[in-house]
């Protein structure tokens, strides 16, 4: 049992039992440096000690998978010797403490994960969650996070092509900032992170090492935040996109010339994690001489050097005979580089200061022996989140539609995405807001890809299993709208404290939902991230699994957009069974509670395949899927995109599903697509759907200056201009906030 004198481990987030395990593995007590290294690599952020067992459920194999979980990023083949690499990661806690740098360095970190494989980053997407926009704090965080993402991505020249933003009360004190990067590489030039070759040099490249970020992501992401977290601001890393741009080009040249044995980025836990994980993957040891590490501050202690999370740094393994070429290439790119150690056969991570040993731990103990915990899940007795009403239950359907269009989660995000350069690099076929998913051309491989990122924490809170299945279906629906077939999935699981039974239940059920949805749709999971302890003393965030998909499509020229045109016939395709449970309308009315209808994976999967095939044929001119706000909002958004009104009759949906008119208009669920085009095309599509056994029926026509919708007892009649004003309200509000 540890004594009071040994309580230093508790200050670093280690339990007494974990400390005893460390002393047993070492056969002695660790010194301060070694204890700091263990505290970081045994943190939740690095070790996944509460989630790793659950992640084993996920399917990870597929015929197109080239790299899966365990590498810096996943990668899938797109033909002609080319591969697409991609990954999503969180930077939640740093962004809650310092939103601009937290978001900026989140982008920088995910870019490094991708080019560490040898892939050139070609796109960034982001998934963001904040408290209600009525909160000054939430408006500030939203403003600064968007600015940070735009600053880093725009400066480094990688387009931000898509994403999502939601505003819900449980994110008020713990925002979520998830960033996804997509890169392109030659399949035969990709490199793994495993260190190899006893006697090979270990080279640190990029920016010099400072005290910024010491104990940053790995500590902040492994503990709950409190109201007095202002003092943690120095723990947030400081990013320099121009330094990273040089580092990126330098690394890609070194890999193209086959000068590196392996490459790893320095993210959470800095040199400790990068060297330890490389050694573990290669089953070797590594010696690091901290006196050789280029520093910004000369008086740094060894433990500070080993755990610093300074940005824009990479660690490489290089054969001795090629070290001079590597250093010369780095000098030409004006990228710092220094030989700081070597690969050994000891199986230990040794830290030296010149000739003086200052730390010596077995790699297996540091990386592989962290205890993995079984959760103690217990379903909560009822709804555990705030439930405030902002819309009277007696509001008529027209008022409800306007309220939904103005709701920040639904309203136009033009204010945000116009701050991002979405076309730099000349690959972007569809800009944000033009189609359901971003589409990028890959002329090198003679193909194109679509990418999307999605999640809905509110619905997962209502039913963690069904809500997570819906998240996968929603992301796959976005790809189907542009004719893309999924190649692989990456995920970021954002949850509260897993040691609490209710959160453990959410995590357990959500992970199972993710596994079952991916199995049913035959989508391999190629990597991802887990972010836990997203809560404060006020309670946890909504459980928020975010999924990112990459899919392939043959002809980007045929990609349909969102905009209706006057005279278009409109049809509803798919097994949509709309329900107000967990919906945006239920949120506005303060009527959220436990439970969602079953998603229906088989029927939804059939609809995905059908819509994807029809999109590739160019059958329709416009398409959108039914999500937040239900069918009425989906119709309104497509009409607003085309600047035209519409007349829709949803009585057929009411009759087919046995639902109320209000549910037909505003209910949510999986598997619904709104398609539009010339009359002959839509008639042909309805016939084809019948032959394929997919539900589909005509619901209206585009034209005029009003939104006219009827569904049994519910009717909507709203001027186009008034609906447009409601939908643009978020952008106008944020513009006024920034100007003030």
Query: Tens digit of pLDDT for each residue in 417-444?
Result: 889 989 888 899 987 888 999 999 999 9
In 3D space, the residue among 691, 646, 713, 442 whose CA is nearest the CA of residue 553 turns out to be 442
What single string gives the DSSP state of each residue in 357-426? EEEEEEHIIIII-SPPPPP-----SS--S-----S-TT--HHHHHHHHHHSTTTS--HHHHTTS--STTS
Answer for the pair 460, 471: CB distance below 8 angstroms, yes or no: yes
Dump strand ranges (E) for 621-725: 622-625, 646-649, 673-677, 696-702, 706-711, 714-719
* Residue among 9, 45, 93, 151 flagged as catalytic: 45
Tokens 């495993």 found at: 194
CB 208 within 8 A of CB 269: no
91, 93, 151, 173: the catalytic one is 91
Residue recorded with tokens 């077939």? 485
Closest listed residue to residue 571, CA positions, set 522, 504, 508, 638? 638
CA distance 220 to 94: 7
Residues 6+ apart with CB under 8 A from 552: 78, 447, 448, 449, 450, 484, 485, 487
CA dist., res. 679 & res. 156, Å (int): 46
User: What's 85's DSSP letter?
Assistant: E
Instruction: Give the bridge partners for 493, in sequence order.
Output: 530, 545
Which residues, at least 6 apart from 647, have a Cβ–Cβ distance to it below 8 Å?
Answer: 700, 701, 703, 704, 708, 709
Under DSSP, the state recorded for 177 is E
Where are the domains positioned within the chain?
561-740
Find the Cα–Cα–Cα–Cα dihedral 454, 452, 44, 456, rounded to 10°.
0
Render the burial of 708-740: b for 16+ CB within 10 Å, e for the rest.
Answer: ebbbbebebebebeebbebbbbbbebbeeeeee
Q: Is-catalytic flag, 45?
A: yes
Which pLDDT does position 725 carry in this prediction?
A: 96
In the predicted model, residues of the chain with pLDDT beneath 70 are 1-6, 213, 215-236, 735-740
Topology classification of domain 561-740: Phosphoribosyl-aminoimidazole Synthetase; Chain A, domain 2 (3.90.650)
Burial class (CB within 10 angstroms; exposed 0-12, middle 13-18, buried 19+) of 258: exposed
- Reading phi first (left if > 0) and then psi (alpha if -120 to 50, else beta), residue 566 is in beta
- Return the pLDDT at 205: 98
Give residues with Cβ within 8 angstroms of 557, minimum separation 6: none
Residue found under tokens 């006697």? 199
- Give bridge partners of residue 65 from the DSSP assignment: 76
pLDDT tens readout for residues 340-379: 999 999 999 999 999 999 999 999 999 999 999 999 999 9
Please choose, from the candidates 289, 120, 320, the residue with its C-alpha nearest in 3D space to the C-alpha of residue 204. Answer: 289
E strands present in 532-629: 535-536, 539-540, 544-553, 569-573, 622-625
Q: Which residues contact 672 (CB under 8 A, 6 or more apart)?
A: 572, 573, 574, 575, 576, 578, 625, 626, 631, 634
CB count in 10 Å sphere of residue 96:
26
pTM: 0.94
Q: What does the block give as tokens for 295?
A: 């520093």
91 catalytic per annotation: yes
577 and 672 in contact (C-beta within 8 Å)? no
Q: Return the closest-CA partner of residue 566 out of 673, 704, 437.
A: 704
- Rounded CA separation 688/176 (Å): 42
pLDDT value, residue 434: 87
Residue 364: exposure state from Cβ atoms within 10 A (0-12, 13-18, ≥19) = middle
- The tokens for 642 are 């085309």
Residue 565 to residue 430: CA distance in whole angstroms: 18
Q: Which of 199, 196, 236 is nearest to 92 (CA)?
A: 236
Q: Which of 628, 624, 633, 612 is nearest to 694 (CA)?
A: 612
């Amino acid at each position: 049992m540890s004594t009071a004198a040994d309580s230093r481990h508790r200050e670093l987030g280690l339990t007494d039992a974990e400390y005893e395990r460390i002393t047993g593995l070492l056969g002695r007590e660790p010194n301060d440096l070694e204890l700091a290294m263990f505290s970081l690599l045994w943190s939740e952020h690095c070790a996944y000690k509460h989630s790793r067992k659950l992640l084993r459920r996920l399917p990870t194999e597929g015929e197109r998978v080239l790299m899966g979980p365990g590498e810096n990023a996943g990668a899938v083949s797109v033909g002609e010797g080319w591969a697409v690499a991609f990954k999503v990661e969180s930077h939640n806690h740093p962004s809650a403490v310092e939103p601009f740098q937290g978001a900026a360095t989140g982008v920088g970190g995910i870019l490094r994960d991708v080019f560490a494989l040898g892939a050139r980053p070609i796109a960034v997407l982001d998934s963001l969650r904040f408290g209600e926009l009525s909160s000054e704090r939430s408006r500030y965080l939203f403003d600064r996070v968007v600015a940070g993402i735009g600053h880093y991505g725009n400066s480094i020249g990688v387009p931000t092509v898509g994403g999502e933003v939601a505003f819900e009360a449980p994110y008020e004190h713990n925002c979520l900032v998830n960033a996804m990067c997509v890169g392109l590489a030659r399949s035969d030039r990709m490199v793994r992170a495993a260190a190899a070759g006893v006697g090979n040099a270990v080279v640190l490249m990029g920016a010099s090492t400072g005290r910024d970020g010491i104990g940053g992501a790995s500590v902040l992401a492994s503990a709950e935040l409190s109201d007095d977290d202002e003092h943690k601001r120095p723990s947030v890393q400081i990013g320099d996109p121009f330094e990273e741009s040089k580092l990126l080009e330098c690394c890609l040249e070194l890999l193209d010339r086959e000068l590196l044995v392996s490459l790893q980025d320095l993210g959470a836990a800095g040199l400790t994690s990068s060297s330890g994980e490389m050694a573990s993957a290669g089953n070797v040891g590594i010696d690091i001489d901290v006196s050789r590490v280029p520093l910004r501050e000369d008086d740094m202690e060894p433990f500070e050097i080993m755990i610093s999370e300074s940005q824009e740094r990479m660690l490489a393994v290089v054969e001795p005979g090629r070290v001079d070429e590597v250093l010369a290439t780095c000098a030409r790119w004006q990228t710092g580089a220094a030989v700081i150690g070597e690969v050994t056969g000891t199986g230990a991570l040794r830290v030296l200061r010149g000739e003086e040993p200052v730390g010596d731990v077995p790699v297996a103990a540091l990386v592989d022996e962290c205890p993995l915990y079984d959760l103690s899940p217990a379903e909560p007795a009822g709804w555990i989140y705030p439930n405030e009403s902002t819309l009277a239950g007696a509001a008529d359907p027209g008022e409800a539609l306007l309220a939904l269009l103005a709701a920040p989660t639904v309203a136009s995000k033009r204010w945000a995405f116009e701050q991002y350069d979405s076309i730099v690099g000349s690959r972007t076929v569809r800009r944000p807001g033009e189609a359901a998913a971003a589409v990028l051309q890959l002329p090198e491989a003679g193909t194109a890809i679509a990418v999307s990122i999605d999640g809905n924490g509110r619905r997962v809170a209502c039913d963690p299993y069904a809500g997570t299945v819906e998240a996968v279906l929603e992301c796959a629906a976005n790809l189907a709208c542009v004719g893309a077939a999924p190649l692989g999935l990456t995920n970021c699981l954002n949850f509260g404290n897993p040691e609490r039974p209710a959160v453990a239940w959410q995590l357990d059920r959500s992970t199972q939902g993710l596994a079952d949805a991916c199995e049913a749709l035959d989508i391999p999971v190629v990597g991802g991230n887990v972010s836990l302890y997203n809560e404060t003393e006020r309670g946890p965030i909504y459980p928020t699994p975010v999924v990112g998909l990459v899919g392939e499509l043959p002809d980007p020229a045929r990609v349909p957009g969102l905009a209706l045109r006057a005279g278009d016939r409109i049809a509803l395709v798919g097994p949509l069974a709309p329900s107000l449970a967990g919906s945006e309308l239920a949120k506005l009315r303060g009527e959220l509670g436990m439970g969602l209808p079953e998603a229906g994976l088989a029927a939804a999967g059939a609809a995905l395949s059908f819509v994807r095939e029809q999109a590739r044929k160019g059958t329709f001119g416009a398409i959108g899927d039914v999500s937040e706000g239900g069918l009425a909002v989906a119709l309104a958004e497509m009409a607003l995109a085309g600047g035209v009104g519409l007349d829709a009759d949803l009585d057929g949906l009411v009759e087919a599903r046995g639902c109320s008119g209000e549910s037909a208009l505003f209910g949510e669920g999986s598997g619904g697509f709104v398609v539009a085009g010339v009359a002959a095309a839509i008639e042909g599509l309805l016939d084809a759907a019948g032959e394929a056994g997919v539900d589909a029926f005509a619901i209206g026509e585009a034209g005029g200056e009003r939104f006219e919708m009827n569904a049994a007892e519910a009717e909507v009649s709203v001027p186009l201009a008034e609906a447009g004003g409601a939908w643009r309200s978020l952008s106008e509000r944020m513009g006024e906030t920034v100007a003030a």
